[in-house]
Structure 1
Amino acid sequence: MAIRVMLIDEDVNHINAVEEYFSSSSSVNVVKAISNRDEAMSSITEDYDVLVINLLLSGCLCSLILSKMKELGINRKVIITSEYVSPDMMMQINSYQPNYFLKKPYSCSELERVIASIYFKENKSNNTIKLKITDMLHNLGIPSNLKGYSYIRDGIEMMYNDTSMMGAITKELYPRLARSYETTSSRVERAIRHAIEISWSRGDYDYMEELFGNSVDCDKSKPTNGEFIVTLADRLKLEDRYV
């Protein structure tokens, strides 16, 4: 039986692309794709398994819909999407306790993978780590459009899941990231270094001092790529230990 999905997004072109992609799918059925506010509010009680909803709908519609679902006791898997993410928005997303947060733009194949993941197996803990990493990087002032942002984000998650990589940045981490993004290890290294340089000039100083104060001098020197990623992965491990 196909997973029934309801999509709420004001981007009509995006809706059309998603509907077209899944039109021949036997595993996912887009039962409703909505761009209209009134229709969205009236459709939340219908039959579907997964709700994919854009956080940035006009008039705080996303918040209204999720609050109404909670009020009515409607229990569905929820994927929140957004083109833009700030620290305040990350707090807002976390407050809704979605099953997954998916940053736009995303590919339809990635959406399909996430839908299957949350439907067949709860993946809250892994997604919580992704949200925490995203929050950290935004507090550190790294723009999400930089290639280095994606490399650092994925590198922290890899290191969090496999601590043996902490001593193998060059030999293991860079090559794995390079394979994932179809690039070279040297380009990965340069992009990460560039992202850290930007972070050191525009990030939250108090937050940087809190994270790196014991390992580097925030006033004088930037951390190396390895120090940066290892420190953030360690911080996540430490937070989990006391949750």
Structure 2
Amino acid sequence: MAVELDSDLVIIDDSFIEADFKLLKNEIDKAEYKGTTLVFTGSDIYKCKDMGNYENIFFADKTIGNEDVIKHLNLVIQHGLTEVETKSKLNFFDNAEFPIEMYRQATKLLVNCGFNPKHKGFLYLRDACLMTLMDIRAGSLSKDIYPAIADRYNVSNESVERAIRHAVAKVWQTNKLEPLYQFGMKYSLNDRPTNSVIISCFTDILRELND
């Protein structure tokens, strides 16, 4: 797992959601990032506010673009910081960095379809879709995709498969499948799709969004 927090100030946009913040929080807890000020921006960040109380973590209501950084230099001056680094997302992993727009689209797609970002299966499903979309480790789920995801999160292949299946099952248990129907998925409550089918369906949707 690779996280670069060498700068005095890191501004992270709203592609982060609660589950991702947990990963970052774990990294902050176990590493020496005492001198780094983190600023989370964007509409989704309010979900993260109750996940920890750190004096060097701040939240902003709006996304900060490159042109907005100058407006926030007062923060730098106030804290005596000398270096500003803006990132649209942090790369947690040594391999398979996803384009930020695809990352955001996949996140919003799963959330809109009822998947809970608190579940590990949410992260694994999103990665599986993006890997398939970008032809990273493309091939068999059990021989290629699951092992790649398991490598990232330091879990077993079986844990990845089980967590995705659990996330799909939770959506079906809610009995609110309308968003899925809007994307052309024709499954009833008694006809839950397999991991392979759900990954294929979401990958096709993401591919259409990027054509």
TM-score (norm 2): 0.61
Unpaired runs of at least 5, structure 2? 12-24, 50-58, 74-83
Query: 1:186 maps to what in 2?
Result: 158
Query: Does 2:40 correspond to 1:53?
Result: yes
Superimposed CA distance per residue, residues 116-164 of structure 1 (whole angstroms, 9 cap, x where no aligned partner): xxxxxxx9x7111111111111112222221211111111111111077
Query: Does 2:111 correspond to 1:138?
Result: yes
Query: 1:159 maps to what in 2?
Result: 132
CA distance in 1, matches of 2:63, 2:159: 43
Of residues 146-155 and 203-212 in structure 1, the stretch that sits farther from structure 2 once superposed is 203-212
Would the aligned equivalents of 1:178 and 1:184 in 2 still touch at CA under 8 Å?
yes
Would the aligned equivalents of 2:172 and 2:189 in 1 still touch at CA under 8 Å?
no
SS of match in other structure, 1:52: strand
CA distance in 2, matches of 1:217, 1:65: 37
CA distance in 1, matches of 2:128, 2:69: 39
Greater C-alpha Rg: 1
CA distance in 1, matches of 2:126, 2:166: 14
Give the Å deviation of 1:170: 2.0
Matched residues, number: 167
TM-score (norm 1): 0.54
Would the aligned equivalents of 2:175 and 2:189 in 1 still touch at CA under 8 Å?
no
Structure 2 counterpart of 1:210, one-letter code: Q
Q: Which residue of the other structure, out of 191, 197, 203, is the alignment partner of 2:169?
A: 197
SS of match in other structure, 1:145: coil
Superimposed CA distance per residue, residues 70-124 of structure 1 (whole angstroms, 9 cap, x where no aligned partner): 4977797545xxxxxxxxxxxxxxxxxxx23x6xxxxxx949x9xxxxxxxxx9x
Between 1 and 2, higher relative CO (CA 8 Å, sep ≥ 6) is seen in 2
Would the aligned equivalents of 1:178 and 1:188 in 2 still touch at CA under 8 Å?
yes
Would the aligned equivalents of 1:212 and 1:218 in 2 still touch at CA under 8 Å?
no
Would the aligned equivalents of 1:208 and 1:218 in 2 still touch at CA under 8 Å?
no
SS of match in other structure, 1:230: helix
CA distance in 1, matches of 2:137, 2:7: 40
CA distance in 2, matches of 1:136, 1:212: 13
Runs of 4+ in 1 over 4 A off after TM superposition: 64-67, 71-77
Q: Residues 229 and 73 (structure 1 numbering): CA distance in 2 closer, same or farther, change over 3 Å?
A: same
Would the aligned equivalents of 1:148 and 1:191 in 2 still touch at CA under 8 Å?
yes
Q: Residues 170 and 128 (structure 1 numbering): CA distance in 2 closer, same or farther, change over 3 Å?
A: same
Give the Å deviation of 1:64: 6.5
Unpaired runs of at least 5, structure 1? 9-13, 24-28, 34-50, 80-98, 103-108, 114-122
Q: Residues 65 and 157 (structure 1 numbering): CA distance in 2 closer, same or farther, change over 3 Å?
A: closer
Question: How high is the sequence identity, in percent, across the aligned residues?
Answer: 22
CA distance in 2, matches of 1:3, 1:186: 35
Superimposed CA distance per residue, residues 211-237 of structure 1 (whole angstroms, 9 cap, x where no aligned partner): 243xx4235411110010111111111
| Map 1:121-132 → 2, pairs under 5 A | 126-132=99-105
Query: 2:123 maps to what in 1?
Result: 150
Query: Does 2:203 correspond to 1:233?
Result: yes
